[in-house]
Amino acid sequence: MSLDTLSRSCYSEDHEAFRSTVRRFVAEQLEPHADKWDEDGIVPKEVWPKAGELGILCPTVPEEYGGLGLDFGYNAIIDEEVGYGTDVATGFSLQSDIVANYIIQYGSEEQKKTWLPKMVSGEIVTAIAMTEPGTGSDLQGLRTTAKKDGNHYVINGSKTYITNGQNADLILVCAKTDTEVQPAWKGVSIILVEASREGFKRGRNLDKVGLDAADTSEMFFEDVRVPITNCLGEEGRGFIYLMSELPQERLGIAISAQTAAQRAFDMTVEFTRDRKAFGKSVLDFQNTRFVLADLKAKLQVGWAHLDWCIARHIKHELTPVEASGAKLWHTELQGEVVDKCLQLHGGAGFMNEYPIAKQWRGARVTRIFGGTSEIMKELIGRSL
């Protein structure tokens, strides 16, 4: 079963040639290990260099820093193929769609030369530490501090729900470098922290409802000293950087949600065609056909909208409000699709041995991370 891309409008022949490489990697290197990695609660780090060898990590990184210098469409293809070809939550998109862009856009020349080639090759795994216990999406309410001491910052605080938390070699830590300034967002900076720094500790690999293979962790910083040169961009502009890069993060989530919804739908069509009830195929019941017909129409609209978003983002025209709308619509669609598809599986849908159960569990968080659906509505509403 492969993602149907014949009607797509936002990709070139070069994009589609790259897709075949990603699709083969997913089929050979990810999907066969899905159950084992879910059981382990982590994707082993040795997978990352294999992806790096094929250009599947951080394809937008400029060539002078070891990358391919490609457009975001290549990131989108990776998100689509990983999202459709397997239920494994790899953490690749965090590195490629989010962290790489921060360093490309705001990193010093030294930071770019030090970290980007290793991110491209898969030599290192990265994470970004925003969320804290008790603050959730309120980035202005950060309690983690980075206080100057000579030519160093001393970092204290804790983070939670950090994707790639167990594997990360480099963490972009959002911290208050000024706790007195008002408004509070002006005191937020982003500090690069190597996991080898004394005082840094990883907490639990958190037990989640879904996305079992994703190593989502707590992190603790106790008098962690890093050079002031580890500040990403300008001190005190971290909140502005975060707001500037959120559209790409939210578009990436929308892409993954749409492709996961399509995977659930396609699997359910096959399941209902094969499953018999009252002497005929479940797909032959009018209710089944009507439910699937409704979902198919919504998925069709979703792909058209997603192509519009990707094309606009490649041209650097996608606005924060449009990205918020995409994140809201596609994740809510994913929730609807997986829920109705599970229902059509009957009792089998509630069994973890069937892929739809894993998809249903994994889908729930997409309406939460990257900004909840409620926050997306608030952001869109403010623009009216």
Q: Known catalytic residues?
A: 249
DSSP 149-203: ETTEEEEEEEEEEEETTTT-SEEEEEEES-SS-SSGGGGEEEEEEETTSTTEEEE
Quickly tell me which residue has 């950060």 as its tokens: 142
Nearest to 106 by CA among 251, 242, 253, 225: 242
Q: What are phi and psi of 220, to 5 degrees?
A: -130, 140
Task: Tell me the two tokens of residue 156.
Answer: 């204290």
* Helix or strand run (H / E) with residue 5: none
- 18 exposure class (CB count in 10 Å sphere: 0-12, 13-18, 19+): buried
Could you tell me if residue 158 is left (phi over 0), alpha (psi between -120 and 50 degrees) or otherwise beta? beta
Q: Residue 326 phi/psi, 5° resolution?
A: -65, -45
